[in-house]
A and B are shown apart, each in its own frame.
Chain A
């Protein structure tokens, strides 16, 4: 039995290390995010393994909880990434270095940046705020054509 547990732990550790390497080396925001997920699932696997080892369900409970939180967090994180993408049209993490000391140069010099044109802003349909009379558009009306010609 001992060998089986160790195998799971080795796989979990491998997932964590691969995630960590990906997290540190990747430049694409989405891939960094995926690497973080990978690390987390490595940890989740250890939880389950240790729970199994001690014949308790707590590890699995913990993992399900973590999965729930991760689902929320993924939605949230992807929304943030989408927001960042809409500002620069790029997923490169090196463009976001606003935390640096102000007098240090940016890692990406402005000469390396290309400017792109943003598409025109789309207008999406919105709901009328509650309590206000909605703007009622004029509906098309069928004009009946007189079949009889006017008398002359």
Chain B
């Protein structure tokens, strides 16, 4: 394994980012996407090389594969804490990297068409490159501190890109909101890392996660400790992956350019939280309480986000809530490990859904971006309709993504969602925690139905019905240009086949087995009962959406008025933003106002009083400064003579 390949994965985007940032505005201008796309493709190829070289022994036998390491230099040495900048790659890393770099290459290509003519063209690609670098750093991190650096760096890039059009007040506010909400999660993550360091005396993954027996020992000696660590880590994950109490930033993040929504807020960055929890599986295994918390929070978020998505009229917001809901699915899957003998199938199901979700959700967002592009930046679904004739490429690719998201049988989303549901149904048989997982299983199933329904609601509202365009679109809306169409086509193919190719064949699960610290598990099984149910739910949801929005479009309006309170609850996102405003933001503003008052009255008063003292003292010497040159010369002479006399007096 050559270390060059490993180092090249994060460094290529970093170099591209520096290059574009330095040369972009002056020299590259409209060619700014070239370094970005080149670097991302380089990273992608390197990731594939890594993926192939990492596990050469063949699949099936669960060996204790150690991670591939590329050590760098010491970054931080404080007391017993020693942190190095070094990369480590194992099976999970390789899968994440191929997914991240692959999707981001396609999104960067799409963005080259989408962002064409924007004033910040170079800035956009510099920030995207920087984001991919940070994400690769996060995934390749060898210890918790480096992971935290990558974690913060993706947060920063997310902030920059949400606020890309910072002239718009709403975009600036959304960026700020995302940053502040993420800070809460990051605080938890940081505390978790501190606690890991004090408990294990190291922050390296190999030391902390590589010795399951040591974790068990600590867990039996002090059961609360591991649970606290896990819950703090999960707080960080919930912030980044937009889970229930902290999910409010993700829908607002849609203020950023659509390729950014596709890349960061659907496919890659938001999965960092899931990655963290999956990476720390050995820790979570030792604490069933933490795992159940993860699963329950996931269940609440999944249902809540799906219910909100039912009534949103903004195409991107529907997709954003669907992202929140699907991420919650991943957490349910991760949490279900508590009800299984071995955590590996649960984690592998979650990672599999993460993998397929990245493709079809990026596809859906890019297709939504293509709709937005041709509709003159209008994204309200009530203002356009019947676009399937005008935008054929967008229509077909969106349909592929929507079918995959809805879990239509034999498409990517079907296989991966089925794995999570299968794991949940298995976990339902657990003697102690079984009850929780039975409830979660049904929650997840209802969510699957809702997902199919709202996805196709959006699809039918956008592409079916009478043809109408908003006036911003001009007279002839045009379909995606070829640079935008090809990424859509590639992603559509991936959305259809990738799940079926790597999922039921056991390819994905066996590969992920080789991740460091994962426990042994039995052979891969398919859950046919669950499959039939989830397939049926998906088709029922699609049919319901068709009936309500194509067959008889008057019913939804009547429904909304007949159950108005429920409709309003969903439409206003369960009033969570308002509740946060009343409970958290307003008291903080009041405190800030009081502090401001204290500052202007007390502190400024003291400072002002102190500044009076020199003014009073200086009254007398001021009169000597009357500006006559001879008098200054006189003073100089007198002082020189005095100085001389003083020196002479000592010479004697």
Contact = CB atoms under 8 A, between A and B. Distances in A.
A81 to B, nearest CB: 12
B548 to A, nearest CB: 79
Contacts of A20: 637
B626 A104 contact: yes
A25 B637 CA distance: 13
A99 interface: yes
Contact of B630 (A93, A98, A100): A93
A107 B629 contact: no
Residue of A26, A27, A104 with most partner-chain B CB within 10 A = A104
Given A20-B637, A24-B637, A94 B625 contact: no
B58 interface: no
Contacts of A32: 629-630
Given A101-B622, A104-B622, A104-B623, A96 B629 contact: yes
Given A20-B637, A101-B622, A107 B630 contact: no
A25 B633 CA distance: 10
A24 B634 contact: yes
A23 interface: yes
Contacts of B634: 24
A116 to B, nearest CB: 23
A32 to B, nearest CB: 8
A97 interface: yes
Residue of B622, B628, B633 with most partner-chain A CB within 10 A = B628
Kindly state the interface size class of chain A when it binds its partner: 10 to 19
B629 A93 contact: yes
* Chain A contact residues, majority secondary structure: loop
B627 interface: yes
Interface in A87-117: 93-94, 96-101, 104, 106-107
A37 B625 CA distance: 26
Contact of A104 (B625, B630, B633): B625
30 contacts: A20-B637, A23-B630, A23-B633, A24-B630, A24-B633, A24-B634, A24-B637, A26-B630, A27-B630, A32-B629, A93-B630, A96-B627, A97-B628, A99-B625, A99-B627, A99-B632, A100-B625, A100-B626, A100-B627, A101-B622, A101-B625, A101-B626, A101-B627, A104-B623, A104-B625, A104-B627, A106-B627, A107-B626, A107-B627, A107-B628
Closest 6 CB pairs of A and B: A100-B627, A97-B627, A101-B625, A99-B627, A100-B626, A101-B622
Given A32-B629, A104-B625, 19 more contacts: A20-B637, A23-B630, A24-B637, A25-B630, A26-B630, A27-B630, A93-B630, A96-B629, A97-B627, A99-B627, A99-B632, A100-B625, A100-B627, A100-B628, A101-B627, A104-B627, A107-B626, A107-B627, A107-B628
